[in-house]
Amino acid sequence: MRQLFLDTETTGLRVEDGNRLLEMAAVEMIDRKLSKSDAHFHRYVNPGRDSEEGALNVHGLTTQFLSDKPKFAEVVDDFLAYVQGAELIIHNAPFDVGYLNMELGKLGRGKIQDYVVSITDTLKMAKDLWPGKRNSLDALCDRYEVDRSGRTLHGALIDCELLAEVYMAMTRGQDSLLIDYAPTAEENASNLERRSNSLPLIVTQASAEELALHQKYLNALDKAVKGSCVWRELEPLLPNTEGNPQ
């Protein structure tokens, strides 16, 4: 599976006010492994207008710096070829998608949804996992202990890299334990024989409090994947709170 963590910077907050894109970046991940930096996408774009003061304070990209950069029309083919057929993972996706669709629409190139498999909004994921909490990218970095000490201003590329780390932390446990290594039938048989010849194991049953915490964690995983996590398949094999088989 090819996933792209995407972010943009713009001249202002509202696309309805005539603001434009001025930076685009995407970080590639394939089968939950981040690609090398030369596989990422990063372009500055000359927006043809000044940034609003509030936006300039966020990204620091001045009109002078952007004056010799290409227009969006000059990079659109490279961008669309890069995202083709991938899943986009974006924090607060409606904002970035709105700007991308505006720029594509000006060129008669349709919508970003026409080129990608799907778009995942990590802000929505975070709100489902942490209702009532602050769920900005900065807040999630702090919550999941992702180092953002090198980030003084918002930049599309560094925000993509931070988002990739946050997403991996948010979805940990779903498939990372199963994808990297799948034993063969021969290895399974060998492991079973080895266990049957070993001494009996002493099993300590989980307490009611531990079982409750376990269920809370599984519920969070269910919300993250919008379904049932893989651990639910094992529940019929586990003992219940009284220690009797279910």
Answer yes or no: do 199 and 161 share one domain.
Answer: no
In a domain, 183, yes or no: no
Q: What is the mean pLDDT of residues 16-37?
A: 96
What digits encode the pLDDT tens for the residues 121-165?
A: 999 999 999 999 999 999 999 999 999 887 766 789 999 999 999
Q: Give the structural domain span for 44.
A: 2-170
Q: Which residue out of 40, 59, 154, 214 is catalytically annotated?
A: 154
- 214 and 130 belong to one structural domain: no
Q: Do the domain assignments include residue 186?
A: no
Range 105-119 average pLDDT:
98
- For the chain, give the percent of residues with pLDDT over 70: 79
Q: Helices 93-106 and 72-83, interaxial angle, to 10°? A: 120
CA torsion 220→222→225→229, rounded to 10°? 120
Same domain for 134 and 227, yes or no, is no
Residue range 199-229, pLDDT digits in tens? 555 667 788 888 888 888 888 777 777 777 7
- 24 in any annotated domain: yes
Return the pLDDT at 236.
62
Together in a domain, 225 and 117: no
User: How does the average pLDDT of the chain come out, rounded?
Assistant: 86
The yes-or-no verdict on residue 193 having pLDDT over 80 is no
Q: Global pTM?
A: 0.70
Distance CA 106, CA 103 (A): 5
In a domain, 175, yes or no: no
Q: What is the pLDDT of residue 174?
A: 56
- Does residue 40 have an active-site annotation? no
Domains of the chain: total: 2
Please report the pLDDT score of residue 207 as a whole number.
84
Same domain, 109 and 21: yes
- The residue-averaged pLDDT of 52-60 equals 94
Give the pLDDT of residue 217.
80
